[in-house]
Amino acid sequence: MSDSDFPTALNNAEKQIRKAKELASQHLGIKAISAQLTTTQVCFSKTLEVFLQDGRSVIIQFRIEALDVDPFFRARNLLGDIVPIIEAIHDPELVEAEAGVWPFYMTRIPRKPWMEYEDIWNETQRATCSKSLGRVFARCFVEGNTGEVVDSDIIPNLHKIRTLVLERDDVKRFSAFIAKLIEEAPDFKKLPLFFGHLDINEMNVLVGENAEVTGVIDWELSPPPQPFGIACYCIQFLAGEIIDKVFRQRPEFKAIDRGFWAGLLENTPTEIRNSLEANWEAVQTAVMVGTIFKVMSIEGDEVFVSKIRLNA
C-alpha cells in the first residue's frame, strides 16, 4: 500500500523506520539498532524488520485496520514456531489519536516467501514444498462437534448463497449446483473438525532453499474450525495463478495439488486418516463448498461475489 494511505506520523519510510525502532525498544526493553522495510509488503499494512542490540531481529507492523489475533493464538497452539508470536503494541499516538494505525510486534520467522522462488523452482521443488505444507496442516485437526458447525454455520451460509444466486443473472446458473451441495452437506458431520488457513498464497508461506516450509503467517482470516476439506480449497489457489482477474492452472498444478494431499494424509493420525478414507466423497464435496465460500464470501447477511473467473 502507498505511504499516502498513512497519517502524517508515518507517511514515509524514514518515519516508519524511526517509529518501528522506538516501538520495538519500548515493547521488548532492548535497544533497536536499525530497521528496514521488508521486501514483501501486503495490503493494509507496512511491515518492517527491526534489528536489536542483542543480535535478534523482530517484526513491527503498522496496520490501518484492526486485527483479530485470536486465530494466530489458535494456530500457534497447534503448529508452534511455524506461526509467529504476535502482540498488539499500545501506542496512544497511533491508535487513540486521529492516526487510526494499529501497531503489532511479531517474532521473525527465517527464510523467504514462496513467491521469491517462483522463477527459480522446477516442478519437483514446487511439489516438495506443497508436500511440506501438507505435513504442516496435518497437525490442524481439532476436537469438537462437527454436527453443530454444519447445522449452525455451513448449511445456513449455503442457503444464503443460494438465495443470492437465484436473484442475480450472472450467477443464477450455479443454483442447481449449490442446491446439491446443501443436500450433501449433512455428510460433513462424519468428518473431523479442522482449523484451516483461508488465505494461503505465495506471500504467506515461508520456505527454505530446500523447499521445506519454515513458517505460515497471516492467519487473521481464519474462522473457527470447520469440517475437514472446506479449508483445503486453498491449495488450488496456491497451485494456480490469477492474471487480469482470470484464474489459470500452472503447468505444475497437478504436482502441487498431489504433493499437498500426499503430505497431509501421510502425516494425519491413523484413526483420523481411516475416517477420511471412509468418507472421501464428503471430503471432496467439502472442498467444493470451500471454493464456493471463497468466490462468494459471506459477511453477516450479505454475500459478495468475486470478480475472478476461471480460464476455460
Residue at grid coordinates 489457489:
237
Helix%, strand%, coil% for the chain, nearest 5: 45, 20, 30
Q: Is 282 left (phi over 0), alpha (psi -120 to 50) or beta?
A: alpha
**pLDDT score at 298:** 79
Please tell me the distance from the alpha carbon of residue 75 to that of residue 231, in angstroms, as a whole number: 14
**Per-residue model confidence (pLDDT) at position 48:** 96
| Residues of the chain scoring pLDDT < 70 | 1, 96-99, 243-244, 308-312
Identify the helix (H) or strand (E) that includes residue 62: strand 57-63
Nearest Cα neighbor of 291 from 219, 237, 224 is 237
Q: How far apart are CA 144 and CA 155, in angstroms?
A: 18
For the chain, list the domains and their CATH numbers. 3-108 (3.30.200), 113-310 (3.90.1200)
Tens digit of each residue's pLDDT (9 = 90 or more) over 25-51 = 999 999 999 999 998 777 788 999 999
pLDDT for residue 99:
66
Cβ neighbours for 156, distance < 8 A, ≥ 6 positions apart: none
Pick from 65, 103, 64: nearest CA to 87? 103
Given this model, what pLDDT does residue 2 score? 78
DSSP readout, 171-200? Answer: TGGGHHHHHHHHHHGGGGGGSPEE---TT-
